[in-house]
Structures are given as C-alpha cells and as structure tokens.
Amino acid sequence: MSADITTTEEWAALAAHAEKIRTIHLRDEFAADPERVTRMTAQAADLYVDYSKNLVTDETVRLLVALAGRVALGDRIQAMFRGEHINTSEDRAVLHTALRLPRDASLVVDGQDVVRDVHAVLDQMAAFAERVRSGEWVGHTGQRIRTVVNIGIGGSDLGPVMAYEALAPYRDAGIECRYVSNIDPTDLSVTLADLDPATTMFVIVSKTFSTLETLTNATEARTWLLAGLGGDDAAVAKHFVAVSTNEQRVRDFGIDPANMFGFWDWVGGRYSYDSAVGLSLMLAIGPDGFREMLAGFHAVDEHFRTARLESNVPALLGLLNVWYNNFLGAQTHAVLPYSQLLHRFPAYLQQLTMESNGKSVTRDGQPVSYQTGEVFWGEPGTNGQHAFYQLIHQGTKTVPADFIGFSEPNYDLGDMHDAFMANFFAQTSALAFGRTAEEIEAQGVAADVVPHKVMPGNHPTTSILVPKLTPATLGQLVALYEHIVFTEGTVWGIDSFDQWGVELGKEMAKQLTPLLHGEPGEADPSTATLIARYREQRGR
C-alpha cells in the first residue's frame, strides 16, 4: 500500500507555504520582481503559456516539483508511454499517445506492434474518407453522401463534435456532420428532420458497442433509413459504418465488419477522438488535416515525455491545479477559450477531466483523505464575461481560470479580432491586479459606492496564447489537457483511466424501465412516487 501523500514532508511543506501565499498580492509580486514574467512562461510546441498571474512564487513551483518527485511523476510518465498497465482497476495499458506516433516509430505492447496497427486503421480510414469525399462512394440510390450523422455518446461524441466545430474553417469537401448522442428522442428526431436518407451516412461509434443510448439511436436511425429507401436491407451497407473495439457486436447489430474501423482497449473513451472515433472529423477535414492534428498531439506528447518538470508545461499546469485544489481551497476550474470555434471545448474537457479524476479511492483501493478532481466548466469569451465573470471578479470563491487565445484569427471582420483579444488581455489583467479603493475614490466615486466598485484582484489565471487555431494546434491543446489530467491523477494516486462510477446509474435505468410500463419492479419510495406521477401525466 502506498503512503498517504498528505503525510509526506513535501505535502507538509506546501501546506505551510500556502499560509504565506494567502497573504501575498499579485500587485506586489509583480512590482517587486520585473523578471517574474520571464521566469514564469514556458512553451510546449506552439503553445506559449504564461503562468505568472498565478498565486505562486518561485518557492511554490519548487515545492510543487518536489511533490511531483515524491510521487515519481517522471517514472509514471515513462511507464504510460511504454504501455505498462497503469490502468490497474481494468488491468490495461493507457496508450492514447500511441495513436499519434509517426509511422516509422515502433512500440510493442503485450506482444503487439501497436504503431503498425494504428497506421493500418488510419490508412483504412483515409481510403474510406477519400471515397466518400470524392463522391466515389455512393448511397443505395447512387447519390453521393452529403451528410454524416455520428451516433455515439461520451467519448464517442464529445471529442468528435468538439473538433468538428473547432476545425470548421478546414472542412473542405462539402460534407456536413451532425452529432446525435442523447437517448432523448428529440435529439435524433430533430437531427434527421430535414435530411434525405439517400444522401445520409451514419457512423455508429461505440467502444463497447453495448451503450444503450447509442444502440437505441442507431436502431431508430436504421428504421428511418430503411423507411426512406424502400425497405431494402441492402441499403444498410451503403449508409452505416461502425467504429468500435468489438467486432462481434458490430456484426450482431447488422453492420458488415468490412465497414468497421477498429481501435483498442488501451484507448479510453475520453482519450479516443484521435483514433477511428474521429472518423466523422476526417470525413469533414480530410486525411491530411487529420494527420496534421495527430502531429500536433505528438509534439506535445514529446514535450511531456522529455521536458524537465521545471519547464514541462502539462506537468506545471497539472501541479498548479493541485496547488489550488488541495492547498488554496479551490473547488472549480474555469476554461475560457477566446474562440467561438472552441465553443464545445469546455464540454469536452468536462468528460476528460471529471470522468478521469472524479475518484475517491487510491489505485490500491484506499479512501483518499484529500480532495481530488475539481469541477471544470467554462464558456467561450466574451460571452462568459457577460454571464459569470462577475463572480470570479468580486465573488468569494477562488476560481483558477485558463484563458486560451489565438493571435491570428480564422475569420476576421474589420478590427473585430483585436477587439476580441483586447478583452482576453483586459480580463486576465483585471483579475490579477484589480482596482483599489484609492483608485476608485480618485475617480470621484461617491464614498458609499466605492466598496461596490473595488476589484480585489489577486485572482489566478493562466494565459495560453497560440499562433492560430489549426488542426495541429488543436491537437496540441487537447494533448496538453490530457497530460494535465495525468499529472493531477498521479499526485492523487488515483486511477484516472477507469470510470466505474457511471455503471450503477446505467444498471438502474435498465431495472426501472419495466416500472415505466406498469410492470412490477423494485424502486425506492421517492422514485416509485415519481414514476407513478410520470405514468399519470403520460396518461398510462
């Protein structure tokens, strides 16, 4: 059994240091140290990261790096990249980094050259994507495919849809993708309402091919397709493809395994959109764009694998998150992309971070005695500014925030991008330095209003400035957060790669379904009463 991290001298040193940090103000730290920014910036591939506006000193960083040493972060990084079974509760390797290894690399895991397997699937995806994109692949009635409907949920949805939205400027084949995830019948109904079955292709994405939401939506989609195309079962082969690790279940569902794109149990769902799970994205942006994205992921992987912890961006940002979560009492973490294209990025990150690190036992099954995963949330700037930033500026909670901005826009109108980014810079500055009562009084504000206008400042932010949103930099950003999650999970000693907590609800939904139809079954008193009312309102 590993020692409780809170009993180590590194933890104690950070706890003592936190008392000092509670009394500092970023205004003073910056005033006293002209070199602060130079020291507290780092670069990972194209990502320029300024963490100087965090509630830290050089000593904080040194102590956090010491904590990382205590949990052997460096060794665990190497173990992950080597393909050791670090997902202990499922006894699996964790190898999303292998999905982006270049073709000439080699990595043998459990006796299998995974790089060869990865590139074989990438080639299969590329060949298929080219056929669909060029119009060589036609539907049952001979028409080319215009719309791709991705049916999946969780990691089989959030990553692909986030990236499809983010890379809108790179869609170049006139193929529109839509994403259906919810078992709420509204989702599929609204998505299909204006589509023509003759020009629609469904990509059914499910690692297990057993997820109720996905299989239910896929079954209804097949019914819709056949109804629209005259009921000929042969149409399915032209309009349905599958992405899964489970060939037998794909076959059982009625999809020809020739139209299946595989991946492996060493890819977690929330770490999978750069595998065949991203097929819809490849159909939209093409194989070259997809490969550029993989190269972006790989560049940050290499940085994470090789950089010293002191300048290792994902490690530093992960350690900063631990600092706020465990020593300064923060409960949440905001992610604020200054890019409308990244409007699904916070939602995507919620699964990545919270399904990974929402755990309360260590890898060896002991209850943790400390806080683990923070609540991640966010919205694109500047919309968030007019919604919840008030609480970050003047509320009572510490909300560390990542600001993600791009120097070059993908779209520009007049001076809009500069106006947009001026907000990015203004917000991080206002959050750090605020405005004092004296400054406000000097503006002639009435004394009784002054306290309401005081901006305390000292609110921590990290600025991530990227040259431009491209497939490559999107890959870099996602890899950055994947490795931040890994760093935090390593410090907390938890398994960031299982998700047992979602199973009970799934089981119970199955158990309760008969009750909704008036059949006998067990339910707690509150739930039984709710179901009774539901049935009454349904007229049953």
- Binding residues (CB under 6 A) for ligand F6P: these are 153-156, 206-208, 211, 214, 269-270, 355, 499, 502
| Eight-class DSSP state of 352 | I
CB 261 within 8 A of CB 279: yes
359 flagged as catalytic: no
Rounded to a whole number of angstroms, the minimum distance from the CB of residue 207 to ligand F6P is: 4
Q: Which is nearer to ligand F6P, 108 or 212 (CB)?
A: 212
Contacts of 447 (CB under 8 A, 6+ apart): 441
Rounded to a whole number of angstroms, the minimum distance from the CB of residue 115 to ligand F6P is: 23
Rounded to a whole number of angstroms, the minimum distance from the CB of residue 343 to ligand F6P is: 20
Distance CA 269, CA 230 (A): 36
Q: Which is nearer to ligand F6P, 150 or 458 (CB)?
A: 150
Q: Which is nearer to ligand F6P, 254 or 409 (CB)?
A: 254
Closest CA to 303 of 482, 470, 167, 163: 482
| Eight-class DSSP state of 99 | G
Residue 80 parent element (H or E): helix 73-82
Three-state DSSP class for residue 55:
coil
Q: Which is nearer to ligand F6P, 266 or 420 (CB)?
A: 266
Rounded to a whole number of angstroms, the minimum distance from the CB of residue 261 to ligand F6P is: 13
The crossing angle, in degrees rounded to 10, of helices 58-70 and 313-322 is 100
Rounded to a whole number of angstroms, the minimum distance from the CB of residue 211 to ligand F6P is: 3
* Number of neighbouring beta carbons within 10 Å of residue 228: 18
Side-chain half-sphere exposure of 449, counting CA atoms within 13 A:
8
CB 283 within 8 A of CB 177: yes
Q: At which residue do the structure tokens 């706020």 appear?
A: 324
Helix residue spans in 351-453 (DSSP H): 356-357, 389-394, 416-433, 437-442, 450-453
Rounded to a whole number of angstroms, the minimum distance from the CB of residue 144 to ligand F6P is: 28
* Number of neighbouring beta carbons within 10 Å of residue 346: 21
Distance CA 278, CA 288 (A): 13
Rounded to a whole number of angstroms, the minimum distance from the CB of residue 243 to ligand F6P is: 9
* Number of neighbouring beta carbons within 10 Å of residue 315: 27
In DSSP terms, 334 is beta-bridged to 377, 401
Residue 390: φ, ψ to 5°? -50, -45
**Side chain identity at residue 223, one-letter code:** T
Closest CA to 322 of 95, 48, 18, 80: 18
Distance CA 267, CA 93 (A): 8
What six digits make up the tokens of 323? 């600092």
Q: Which is nearer to ligand F6P, 275 or 473 (CB)?
A: 275
Three-state DSSP class for residue 367:
strand
Of 20, 386, 397, 468, the catalytic one is 386
Closest CA to 280 of 290, 271, 269: 290
298 flagged as catalytic: no
Q: Which is nearer to ligand F6P, 282 or 404 (CB)?
A: 282
- Full strand arrangement of the beta sheet holding 47-50: 41-44, 47-50, 461-468, 401-408, 332-337, 375-377
Q: Which is nearer to ligand F6P, 263 or 424 (CB)?
A: 263
Distance CA 201, CA 210 (A): 21
Q: Which is nearer to ligand F6P, 96 or 270 (CB)?
A: 270
Rounded to a whole number of angstroms, the minimum distance from the CB of residue 14 to ligand F6P is: 32
Rounded to a whole number of angstroms, the minimum distance from the CB of residue 385 to ligand F6P is: 32
* Number of neighbouring beta carbons within 10 Å of residue 260: 19
Q: Which is nearer to ligand F6P, 152 or 296 (CB)?
A: 152
506 flagged as catalytic: yes
Three-state DSSP class for residue 399:
coil
What six digits make up the tokens of 250? 């794909």
Q: Which is nearer to ligand F6P, 56 or 86 (CB)?
A: 86
Of 20, 397, 468, 506, the catalytic one is 506
Of 10, 29, 165, 355, the catalytic one is 355
Task: Report, as residue numbers or ranges, the catalytic residues.
Answer: 355, 386, 506
